[in-house]
Amino acid sequence: MAAKIIDGKEIARQVNEETARRVEALKAKGCTPGLAVVLIGDDPASQVYVNSKVKKCAELGIYSEKRVLPADATMEQVLALIAELNADSKIDGILVQSPPPKQIDEEKVIAAIAPEKDVDCFHERNVGRLLIGKKDGFQPCTPRGILVLLERSGIETSGRHAVVIGRSNIVGKPLAAMLMQKAKGANATVTVVHSATPDIAKYTRDADILIAAIGKPEFVRGDMIKPGAAVVDVGINRIPDPATGKNRLVGDVNFAEAVEVAGAITPVPGGVGPMTIAMLMSNAVTACERRRG
Ligand code: GUN
């Protein structure tokens, strides 16, 4: 039987509607939430992501500033911009699009962002708060979006085995930390597998909830999935399509195979992607509510 498709676009629309209402409430008190999106260089994919974040701000009534630095920008230039945005009272959230060019030390840039404006939850203070289960930091956008997708699709996490494929700082590590928290919408038994794990399928076949965030096109095949499992695909990969001669967007899961085995599955596109932006908007509004609401 084919899996239920988890509609990330629709769930993101609902979250965005809620966020827009929070923006209205803030505006009624004289505060407009503000997000600064910093792009260093001219990577085409990053440009697309940054533009879609700015566009979503406009849709929800959030003030935004797109700040672009050249591909050969120096650390001094980047740190000066972060200092300016930290001090700017119109700006509640600061996001520096990752990855930056090679000459930029991303860790140092993240460390320079004021933790109360760190809507990505990349700053070590917020990552630490997340790990120990404190609620006064932020939750990183993609992992938070995944938990909201599961919760709003009625997929229980408590006591179930969640297997995360991938250990990046943006997705795998924080998601594992969030899933294991003693909290509503979490409380899972978590396994993290990665590039050095022998026989990944041995673990994935035991997953009630399988999250693929490894960055390898169609890595998860149907026979790696437990029948009835919930499968969340974080991958965004462009691969050549011989049928059209163009590129085709695929996830980290072989959808055609997985949909026949899983109980529920997120599509690519239209699954995790829209949720990431929705949670960024929500975090920017949270930052404003805390600082100025
Ligand atoms: N690049 C890919 N995902 C993200 C994200 O969530 N935040 C930032 N800042 N850069 C990214």
pTM of the shown model: 0.97
Span 233-258, pLDDT tens digits: 999 999 999 999 999 999 999 999 99
Using CB atoms within 10 Å of the CB of residue 42, give its burial: 0 to 12 exposed, 13 to 18 middle, 19+ buried. Answer: exposed
Span 183-202, pLDDT tens digits: 999 999 999 999 999 999 99
pLDDT of residue 292: 77
- What's the first-to-final CA gap in the chain, in angstroms? 49
CA 282 – ligand 1 centroid, Å: 15
Contacts of 227 (CB under 8 A, 6+ apart): 261, 262, 263
Span 133-151, pLDDT tens digits: 999 999 999 999 999 999 9
| Nearest atom in ligand 1 to 120's CA | 7
Contacts of 4 (CB under 8 A, 6+ apart): 153, 263, 264, 265
Q: Whose CA is nearest to atom 4 of ligand 1?
A: 98
Task: Give the span between the Cα atoms of 32 and 44, in whole angstroms.
Answer: 30
pLDDT of residue 293: 74
Q: Is the pLDDT of residue 1 over 80?
A: no
Task: Please list the active-site residues.
Answer: 53, 97, 120
For residue 183, the SS3 value is coil
| Nearest atom in ligand 1 to 141's CA | 6
* Ligand 1 neighbourhood includes 171 CB (under 6 angstroms): no
Q: Whose CA is nearest to atom 3 of ligand 1?
A: 98
CA 186 – ligand 1 centroid, Å: 23
Task: Give the span between the Cα atoms of 123 and 68, in whole angstroms.
Answer: 21
